[in-house]
Structure 1
Amino acid sequence: MLDKFDISILAALQKEGRLSNRELADKIGLSTAPCWRRLKRLEDEGYINGYTAELNPKKVNLNVIAFAQVSMDNHHPETLEPFLTVVGKCPEIQECHSVSGDCDFLLKIITKDLVSYDELLSKQLLQARGVRSVNTMFSMKQPKITRAFPLSEFPFNDHS
């Protein structure tokens, strides 16, 4: 079970992934050696998936964010596998969620423009075996984007 120091490490790294071990230790109130051991344990146990730079999509010419609702003919593995292979090979598809409701999958897709989106749709998604339909919604504005989890709700062992 995680304690308050572990949660503090995770929270600090969500805000600033480039903290040095010294800076992280200072932020959470530990010396560097125990902080480093805790960080390594959190990485080893899979609490931390990795470290990345968060890019500005406009600066790298990615201007269209779309959410595609994909409906499949059925849920048989021989139907889903080709679709999931296409999804895995398309870097424009940032997220793929199997969902409940009126569709089977919800995809978050980012492309440079509508022409690029249409090309991805017509040449990749709609060509995947088993795809019955794709309904797209385009993001007009993004008033909130976060990748940080609400760790204040996480239960922890306070006997640190």
Structure 2
Amino acid sequence: MKQNTDNLSRTDINILEELQGDSRITVSELAERVSLSDSPCWRRWKKLEQDGYITGYHASLDRKKLGLQVVGFSQVRLSRHHPTDTEKFEDAVNELSWVITCFCIAGDADYIVQIVAYDLDQYYERVSELRKLPSVFSIQSSIGIKEVKNTHRLPI
């Protein structure tokens, strides 16, 4: 599949790559890394924001240091697939702070939901809460036992 970066210059891509690594970088540091002067670098950075390539900035937190020892993945099947049912489910999932990601998927399940919890008891409580959401028919869960890779960086 072709990358959707045709309208981006190599410099723009370099800016995006640098910002993925450190979004707290100063304009001067970024300009030096991408071989620009400060003003053109700042203008390109702002244009990438305006054009929607940069959707926000965040701090990466260490979930284990915060006590979130359990990561689980629950495949959710809905009993009904009417748009109002799927909207209600998706709206409800969006309100749950302990749901880290949720994707509508193809295959045996309708959604895959990533959940974090302090321990297995809390994970069970959270899956039980998922079961109560609109139109949920079944849930099949798997627990992560070793984190091999976890990144927010996109390959561009």
* Residue 65 in structure 1 maps to residue 71 in structure 2: yes
Q: Structure 1 vs Structure 2: percent identity of aligned residues?
A: 39
Equivalent residue, structure 2, for 1:143: 148
Residues in 2 aligned to 1:64 and 1:30: alpha-carbon distance in whole angstroms:
44
Q: How far has the Cα of 1:53 moved from its partner?
A: 0.6
Please list the CA deviations of residues 26-73 of structure 1 after superposition, one character each: whole Å capped at 9, or x if unmatched: 000000000000000000111001111100001111111001100011
Equivalences, count: 150
Equivalent residue, structure 1, for 2:46: 40
Letter in 1 for 2:135: G
Structure 2: stretches of 5+ with no match in the other structure = 1-6
User: Is the 8 Å Cα contact of residues 42 and 48 (structure 1) preserved in structure 2?
Assistant: yes
Letter in 2 for 1:127: K
Please list the CA deviations of residues 118-156 of structure 1 after superposition, one character each: whole Å capped at 9, or x if unmatched: 11121x2111121000100110011111111111xxxxx
Letter in 2 for 1:139: G
Residues in 1 aligned to 2:95 and 2:140: alpha-carbon distance in whole angstroms:
20
User: Is the 8 Å Cα contact of residues 92 and 109 (structure 1) preserved in structure 2?
Assistant: yes
* Residue 120 in structure 1 maps to residue 126 in structure 2: yes
Residues in 1 aligned to 2:18 and 2:96: alpha-carbon distance in whole angstroms:
32
3-state SS of 1:65 partner: strand
| TM-score after normalising by structure 2 | 0.93
**Runs of 4+ displaced beyond 2 Å:** none
* Residue 29 in structure 1 maps to residue 35 in structure 2: yes
Residues in 1 aligned to 2:127 and 2:150: alpha-carbon distance in whole angstroms:
25
Q: How far has the Cα of 1:17 moved from its partner?
A: 1.4
Q: How far has the Cα of 1:78 moved from its partner?
A: 2.6
Residues in 1 aligned to 2:119 and 2:92: alpha-carbon distance in whole angstroms:
20
| TM-score after normalising by structure 1 | 0.91
